[in-house]
Structure 1
Amino acid sequence: MTIWTSGNNNHADDADDGLVDDPMPPANNSRPPRQSDRGSGPADPPPGTRPSAPANPFAMFDDTTAAPSRPQPAPPEPAPSPLGINVPPIPMDTPPTPPPSNSNRTMTEPAPLPIPGGMRPGQVQDSTVRIGLWGSTRSGKSTYLAALPIAAMQGGHGSWVVAGTDDLAADYLNQSVNRLVVQRRFPRPNRVIEPISWTFHGTPPPAGWGRNFFSKRKPVPDSVDFRLELHDPPGSFYENGRISEEAIEHLANANGLIYLMNPVLNRNEVQMNFEAFFSALQRLTTRMSASGQMDHGKLPHYVAVCVTKFDDEHLFRHVVSNTNFVRQDQDGQRLPRIPEERSAEYFAWVCERLLGGNTELVRSALSTHFHPDRINYFATSAIGFRLNSNNIFDFRDFRNTEQIDGDTGLRGMPRPVNVLEPLIFLERRIRAARR
């Protein structure tokens, strides 16, 4: 929209209209005035006589002569009186006549002109960020989804509100949170492939969070509102190298991917996990290449690689004893964590040293098929660590699971670790790329 600004030219208009009088009388002509110049006014008095004062002291000045330099004060203005307009009363039982519609107007107006660059095609659609979950059986996809709203409520990475966009999404959210928080049980594995749409409303994390991969980006706004379409197909869709078309379709339509790797697998499960991973990656690459969606020979997705089950007692003690990845907060709940700058090393260590076998090829395949600068790594836990009675982490007893009626349940309140952070990373990077 073009905005026109007009200046205040009132003084110039007054001068052109003759509304400003010259305070000095005009200069006398060199010739004496003729009788015709005087008009029809009274004749001059005889020489030697004094003219009598007129009733109006200024009557002797004609319309071409200015008033004396000391004008008389203007009389006070009368008090304003109401406009003498009779407004007939409107009958109470008669509805007011609606204004004429645009179709009845006789004067046509040009189409409104938007601000240049203010509205872009597809701007409304850009508010939707589609995230696909990628992982085989026992990777923890359903528990990860259930932990998202819990992590949002517990804070530590900004303040967020998560809500379902329809009844199906709200029911899924409520049932999953109820099992984790109230029943202290893990969510049942998902059996449907329909997308689950949630909205996120909140403020970004504290200053300095994630500065490594956002240092070259524009400043983050004070508040963020976005929508996520989370796809959680059953893990069996990725089993035995037989990847369903629905699973490939949901990965292809996603803007970002969360790849969940389970580091607590036996040798047979490691082999099956690699088969499912490589088959899905090849099918996805073929699908994107056939549709012309490859980006400089690589898949266009942003990827958050999450090494799950950071809370597992055997895994955690092994990592602490054999590496220097883990750091512990010095105040608050004194929670352990792997710093962001060491997360990629931790993932490489899990692939090469912990799981071994074909898992090392998973790390190589990710950096080959995706842009390395679009990948970030996280050590995550959907349930977190058990805290002692003082609400502090205790290395002597931190396991947050126990057996309940032959099933695995939770000992205490779930405290997710690095569950919301992968989504924030993906949302920000995807939104920044759209600008």
Structure 2
Amino acid sequence: MTNMRNGRRTALDAGSGRSQPNIAMWGAPGSGKTTLLAALNIALLRQPGSWSIVGADPASTGFLTDKTTALSRDKVFPPATQVLDNYNWFLVGQSEQRRARWFRRSRTARAHKIGINLLDPPGGVFGNRQGVTSQQELLRNLVQSRGIVFLFDPIRENEDGDAFEYLHGALAQLAEQVIAGADTTDGRLPHHLAVCITKFDDYKVLETAKRLRLLTADPEDPFGFPRVSNEDGKELFQELCRVSASGNADMALNAIDRFFHKDRIRYFVTSSIGFYVNPRTKVFDIDDYENLVPAVFRTASGQPTSGAKFANGVRIRGEVRPINVMEPMLWLGQQISTP
């Protein structure tokens, strides 16, 4: 049996007839939801290992091919989501498990096929600028989901300060649906939550992490990109909340702690485009790492003009090498696929 809506499968696997684990996504407008989805395929293809993402229907496969090409080849960002999009994918790969048997340790590979039904809603769906229908549909998806991705855009928060508005609006209604009618006394939601702190490649975010001495490097990374470990992600989140334009971002952090189990929350510091790498040196350069630059061209008369096809007058300067984009998806997929 296949669940169909508008001619497309939703969260049911047509091959097995069983409901697949469901991941929902939300965040403020411009937080990078659609770009993160486009970068996911690039991240998987660039990383060594067996993991890959496969579309479960034509629309999802089309999204992968079109948005991957736009981001990697054309160096343009996907347009902001205007309607509630539903993508159905499978994450396919193997994970290594260690077992101790008779004083010996062995490693075995476990194959995974993780079905993910991912809704990409318009950013303002829980604000005052969107229709009730989209809000109800996303809320229904949040209720049915077992994993949630929440995107926190520190640059937008610094300028607009509305992360709490979009987070709390969803959490309040989700709690009403899930907690109020459940036989529970701890007031916690059963979901796993991946908090993605976006735009790590931005100067302000990188410098904040540097000032807090949170930067590390993966010795196996040939480019030497700086990173912030998942264990330190919450500390960076706390610091970035302090420069909120509204001063309310700290309540977003408190809401996360109040509504979710501590062991089901993980923070990921991400960048969908990564840092610029000089084609000659092929390594990270702290003095020349910005991968997002103004899109300025010359007219026939030699006058500078902004590139019309580039969103907000900016373009991606070099190759797209996402940072910590596939990790939240794989973590959530593995958590929610566990019986």
> Per the alignment, do residues 280 and 253 of structure 1 end up closer, same or farther by CA in structure 2, a change over 3 Å counting?
same
One of 159, 172, 177 as aligned partner of 2:50: 159
Q: How many residues align?
A: 296
Answer whether contact 1:383 1:414 (CA < 8 A) is retained.
yes
TM-score (norm 2): 0.80
Aligned to 1:204, the other structure's residue is in SS state strand
Answer whether contact 1:259 1:305 (CA < 8 A) is retained.
yes
**Does 2:118 align with 1:230?**
yes
Q: Which amino acid aligns with 2:214?
A: F
Once the two structures are TM-superposed, the CA of residue 318 in structure 1 deviates from its matched residue by 3.6
Within 5 Å, give how 1:247-326 maps onto structure 2. Answer: 247-265=138-156, 269-270=160-161, 272-292=162-182, 296-320=186-210, 322-326=211-215
Answer whether contact 2:215 2:227 (CA < 8 A) is retained.
yes
- Detail structure 1 runs of 4+ shifted over 6 Å in the superposition: none
Answer whether contact 1:288 1:294 (CA < 8 A) is retained.
no
Within 5 Å, give how 1:16-415 maps onto structure 2. Answer: 128-156=20-48, 158-204=49-95, 221-240=109-128, 244-265=135-156, 269-270=160-161, 272-292=162-182, 296-320=186-210, 322-330=211-219, 332-352=222-242, 357-388=247-278, 389-404=280-295, 405-406=307-308, 407-415=313-321
Aligned to 2:190, the other structure's residue is in SS state coil
TM-score (norm 1): 0.63
Counterpart CA distance in 2 for 1:172 and 1:186 is 13
Aligned to 2:125, the other structure's residue is in SS state helix
> Per the alignment, do residues 268 and 239 of structure 1 end up closer, same or farther by CA in structure 2, a change over 3 Å counting?
farther
The range that moved more, 401-410 or 138-147, is 401-410
Q: Percent identity?
A: 31
One of 324, 333, 339 as aligned partner of 1:427: 333
Answer whether contact 2:93 2:113 (CA < 8 A) is retained.
yes
Answer whether contact 2:269 2:324 (CA < 8 A) is retained.
yes
> Per the alignment, do residues 126 and 296 of structure 1 end up closer, same or farther by CA in structure 2, a change over 3 Å counting?
farther
Q: Which amino acid aligns with 1:201?
A: V
**Does 2:323 align with 1:417?**
yes
Counterpart CA distance in 2 for 1:147 and 1:131 is 17
The structure number with the bigger radius of gyration is: 1
CA shift digits 1:268-323 (9 cap, x unpaired): 610x3322221111111111135538684311110001100001123213432x21
Which structure shows the higher strand fraction? 2
Answer whether contact 2:38 2:64 (CA < 8 A) is retained.
yes
RMSD over aligned Cα, in angstroms?
A: 2.5
> Per the alignment, do residues 205 and 346 of structure 1 end up closer, same or farther by CA in structure 2, a change over 3 Å counting?
farther
> Per the alignment, do residues 299 and 241 of structure 1 end up closer, same or farther by CA in structure 2, a change over 3 Å counting?
farther
> Per the alignment, do residues 354 and 275 of structure 1 end up closer, same or farther by CA in structure 2, a change over 3 Å counting?
closer
- Listed as ranges, the gaps of 5+ residues in structure 2 are 1-15, 99-106, 296-306
- Greater relative contact order (Cα < 8 A, sep 6+): 2
Answer whether contact 2:97 2:110 (CA < 8 A) is retained.
no
